[in-house]
Structure 1
């Protein structure tokens, strides 16, 4: 879908070449619409050698088991997003340990998905009954008979074969910044 009006000033947009690509540009203020993007996050939370999973109650993937996750809010730091999503969907308190995987899906709405390894803090799994209808910790043996989403199977493999700690928050750079959070090996 084409962007017809400027999100900054409300004037009409037109197509112009910017940086060698046709883009929508405001006829009044020159604001460039760079594209449609979404950032998703997912949690890999383990407790007693079992992984936290949820069964989706909505499409896409209704009925499939996945790791908890969701989408970042406009002004929400990403490490707060994943903590919030895990708590909302499962009632589990968890904290970020590291980033262990990134998936890039260049489509009409370009999606980037960031998977976090998280430390279990407390709580018993309970589904939110909106996005998920079941939640629990499951062993590898139990997962064999479950309908896991293929991407979740890939993330499970990532979690089981992490050679390093993944990307962790660089506390020094983050503290010196302007609210930005930096992750590094």
Structure 2
């Protein structure tokens, strides 16, 4: 590997082939899921964030859609089945690895919250007032403000794209009223 100026940045590249190291990236997802005006939160049993209450979430797998990821993470951490509704927030952290976090509004399908006992040691639905008294992680506190007080429905899955595309996971501004 050698360092070469590619575009406007120094990049590590192979001197014998076309390989360029573009960086180290991770994509995280999280769920904002309500049942009877109460939001689903989990208490982290491991670092980072051990002891903090957060929204359920985790990292995307290589060949998993982002929708599958957030639904899987909610199920694994809490035993709750949920379906995505819309994307309501993004966080961009340029670091190593560069992290992009996508927060989804989700619809409750079924189940009662039960902590997995590995990643989380507590799980439940909580009112906004209850969350104010809890040890909620700062980023989750920001997400709760969006969840409880946000006015915009976010970006909705586009299941009928105008142009056929091989990519999955298209999202767009809602073009119809959804509740």
| Superposed pair shares fold, TM > 0.5 | yes
Q: TM-score, normalised by structure 2?
A: 0.93
How many residues were matched structurally? 173
Other-structure match for 2:45: 57
1:61-140 matches, within 5 Å, as 61-140=49-128
Kindly provide the CA deviation profile for residues 88-123 of structure 1, in whole angstroms up to 9, marking residues without a partner as x: 000000000000000000112110000000000000
1:161-176 matches, within 5 Å, as 161-173=149-161, 176=164
Q: TM-score, normalised by structure 1?
A: 0.90
Other-structure match for 1:183: 171
Deviation at 1:181, TM superposition (A): 1.8
| Runs ≥4 residues deviating over 4 A | none
Which of 13, 16, 31 is the aligned partner of 2:4? 16
Asked if structure 2 preserves the Cα contact closer than 8 Å seen for 1:45 and 1:118, the reply is yes
Deviation at 1:144, TM superposition (A): 2.1
Kindly provide the CA deviation profile for residues 54-110 of structure 1, in whole angstroms up to 9, marking residues without a partner as x: 000000110000000000001100011000000000000000000000000011211
1:138-149 matches, within 5 Å, as 138-149=126-137
Deviation at 1:175, TM superposition (A): 8.7
Structure 1: state its 5+ residue gaps.
1-12
Provide the rounded CA distance (Å) in 2 between the counterparts of 1:155 and 1:127: 21
Other-structure match for 2:26: 38
Provide the rounded CA distance (Å) in 2 between the counterparts of 1:174 and 1:71: 30
Deviation at 1:156, TM superposition (A): 0.5
Deviation at 1:31, TM superposition (A): 0.9
Asked if structure 1 preserves the Cα contact closer than 8 Å seen for 2:128 and 2:148, the reply is no
Larger deviation, residues 156-165 vs 37-46: 156-165
Provide the rounded CA distance (Å) in 2 between the counterparts of 1:40 and 1:127: 20
Provide the rounded CA distance (Å) in 2 between the counterparts of 1:85 and 1:99: 16
Larger deviation, residues 80-89 vs 28-37: 28-37
Question: SS of the counterpart of 2:67?
Answer: helix
Structure 2: state its 5+ residue gaps.
174-179
Provide the rounded CA distance (Å) in 1 between the counterparts of 2:49 and 2:67: 25
Provide the rounded CA distance (Å) in 2 between the counterparts of 1:160 and 1:131: 25
